[in-house]
Every structure is written in C-alpha cells, then in structure tokens.
C-alpha cells in the first residue's frame, strides 16, 4: 500500500523544493519569520487586492479623514457605497503606512512592543478596511472578494508560518478546481471533431495556470512561466470551433455555443490563477453548464 503523505511534508522533486497539501505538491519557499517580511507580505497582498477590484478605491492613507467625512455626510446610496469602498482602501493603506514606519524603527534598533499604540492603531486600520471592504466590487463580479480583501488583515494578525500554511491550502484547493474544469472539458468535448483540438488549449492553460499560481513574482522563474501562461490564455480567448467550409447554420450555431463555454472556462482559470483562491460556486456553475451542453447536444457533438 502507498503511504499517505501528510500535509506540510517538504520534498525535493525534479530539483525544486515542494510542500504537500491536500493532493498537490506546491513550490515551497523558505521565508524569514520577522516583522520586515510580514510588512513585505502585506504589501504584496495589498497590491494584489487593489489590482483585482474596481478602479478608483486605492485611496492614499493620508486622505483617510477626508474620505471618512465625505462618507458620513453622503446621503445618496450609490455614492455612499463608492465612498465606503474608498474608505476601505484608505484604511488599508493607512495600516500599511504605519507598519512601514514600525519596520523602519525596528531596523534602527528600536523595539516596538505589541501593546504599543502604533501597533494597536495599525490593527484597527486593517480591521476597518475589512469591515468596509464588503462594499467593494471585484472587476468581474465574481465570488471571492471577501477572502481576497481579508488577507492583508489575516497576514497582520496571524503568525507568518500559520498564514503561509493557509495560503498553501488555498492554492491546493484552487489547483483542484482548475483540474476539475480541465477534466470536465476533456470529458465533454474531447470526443467531438468540432472541439477536440480546443481541449488541448484548455489543458495547456490549466498546466500553465497552476505553475504560475505557485510561483512568487520575485522568483526568477516567473520570467519564463508568466509569458507561457499569458500566451495559453490568449490562445483560448482566440480559439474557434473546427468547422468545414460547408458548415450549416445549425453547425455554426452549435460551434458558437460550445466556444462560449471554452471562453468562460479560460476566463475562470485565469481568475483562479490570479486570485489564488477557490471559487466553488462559479466553478460548479461552469461544470453544470458543461454537463447540460453535453446532454442537450450529444447527438450532434460526436
């Protein structure tokens, strides 16, 4: 019998250190457990979350009080929602600004006690950002914003080792969703002359997506991995059904419906890769739509 691998097991595989979580061997990075690294981690998470949400809410921390006054005075519900999102951004940036100065002080030899007022104020800013973050909208209107927006706060309040463990678990679950999408597309479309070539594009995107997801942007390997992922994504976006010159309108309509699923699949894999968090509801909806497509058009697919 094969011995079950325990979560957290680290091994060298094909020349790379990898850590095992929930069925996946993920690229492992040994990082320092100190405040300076935590600050760097929060900066990365903050930039990532602002990249994936609606534009205009990356409010500088020094604008916090002005935005708060505007928010409290606003009566229009729509504008108040936007101001709340901007307030969340200002609170997140203010917390990051305070943490920057704390790290700078520690680097000069000044020890900051966890009960220090600066630390407390930093925590309150991250908590406020989490509270008002519920008013923010993601660019694609997909699920996962609460999880994404809450990561800087969790990185601040959680020991580095425990936070990184939770990140590996999320990456493993996200990889599992990408595998489920790729396997479903193969099961539904690989037997169809109209779509079998396009299935290979999905498989390539899934592989590139998982490689990208597990690789830090600071890792030199990203220089090779990122272009492969973008190229694979563009190929799915540009793919078309395989139709003969004499294809009927009925066949053309079927091809369009099928390719629409391929495009949705590509967009979801791209989002899963960039967000690095699972999206179970969105994934299940796509998988069900694949099954319904097969049931409805099975006689014409194969």
pLDDT of 196-219, one tens digit each?
A: 999 999 999 999 999 999 999 889
Instruction: Burial-class residue 109 by CB neighbours within 10 Å (0-12, 13-18, 19+).
Output: exposed
Domain ranges of the chain: 35-157, 168-301
Q: In this predicted model, what pLDDT tens digit does every residue of 240-256 receive, in sequence order? A: 999 988 889 999 999 99
At residue 300, the pLDDT reads: 85
For residue 90, what are the contacts with CB-CB under 8 A and spacing of at least 6?
59, 60, 61, 63, 64, 67, 68
3-30 pLDDT per residue, tens: 689 999 999 999 999 999 999 999 999 9
91-149 pLDDT per residue, tens: 999 999 998 888 888 888 888 888 889 889 999 999 999 999 989 987 765 677 778 88
- pLDDT at residue 201, rounded to an integer: 97
pLDDT of residue 228: 98
Token reading at 297: 């058009």
Selected residue with higher pLDDT from 40 and 288: 288
Q: What is the pLDDT of residue 140?
A: 61
Query: Could you tell me the pTM of the whole model?
Result: 0.86
Given a contact cutoff of 8 angstroms between Cβ atoms, the answer to whether 166 and 70 are in contact is no
pLDDT in tens, 252-275: 999 999 999 999 999 999 999 998
pLDDT digits (tens, 9 = 90+) for 59-70: 999 999 999 999
Q: Which of 208, 172, 203, 228 is nearest to 28 (CA)?
A: 172
The percent of residues above 70 in pLDDT, for the chain, comes to: 98
Cα–Cα distance for residue pair 236/259, rounded to 1 Å = 9
Selection from 209, 224, 178, 220 nearest residue 274 by Cα: 209
Say if residue 86's pLDDT is above 90: yes
Question: In percent, how much of the chain has pLDDT > 90?
Answer: 70
Q: How far apart are CA 82 and CA 73, in angstroms?
A: 13
Strands of 24-27's sheet in order across: 10-13, 16-21, 24-27
């Amino acid at each position: 019998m094969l011995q079950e691998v325990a979560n957290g097991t680290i091994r060298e595989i094909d020349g790379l250190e990898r850590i095992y979580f929930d069925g996946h061997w993920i690229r492992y990075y040994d990082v320092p457990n100190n405040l300076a690294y935590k600050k760097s981690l929060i900066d990365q998470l903050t930039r990532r979350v602002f990249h994936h949400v609606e534009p205009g809410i990356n409010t500088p921390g020094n604008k916090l009080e002005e935005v708060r006054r505007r928010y409290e005075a606003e009566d229009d519900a729509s504008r108040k929602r936007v101001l709340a999102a901007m307030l969340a951004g200002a609170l997140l940036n203010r917390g990051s600004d305070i943490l920057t100065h704390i790290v700078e002080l520690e680097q000069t030899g000044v020890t900051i006690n966890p009960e220090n007022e600066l630390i407390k104020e930093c925590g309150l800013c991250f908590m406020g950002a989490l509270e008002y973050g519920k008013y923010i909208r993601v660019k694609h209107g997909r699920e996962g914003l609460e999880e994404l927006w809450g990561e800087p706060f969790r990185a601040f309040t959680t020991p580095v080792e425990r936070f990184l463990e939770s990140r590996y678990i999320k990456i493993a679950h996200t990889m599992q969703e990408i595998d489920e999408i790729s396997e479903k597309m193969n099961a539904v479309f690989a037997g169809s002359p109209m779509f079998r070539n396009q299935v290979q594009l999905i498989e390539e995107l899934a592989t590139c997506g998982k490689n990208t997801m597990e690789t830090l942007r600071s890792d030199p390997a990203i220089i090779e991995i990122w272009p492969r992922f973008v190229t694979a994504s563009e190929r799915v976006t540009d793919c078309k059904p395989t139709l003969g010159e004499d294809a009927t309108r009925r066949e053309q309509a079927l091809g369009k419906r099928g390719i629409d699923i391929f495009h949705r699949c590509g967009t979801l894999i791209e989002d899963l890769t960039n967000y690095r968090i699972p999206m179970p509801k969105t994934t299940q909806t796509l998988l069900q739509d694949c099954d319904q497509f097969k049931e409805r058009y099975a006689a014409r697919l194969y």
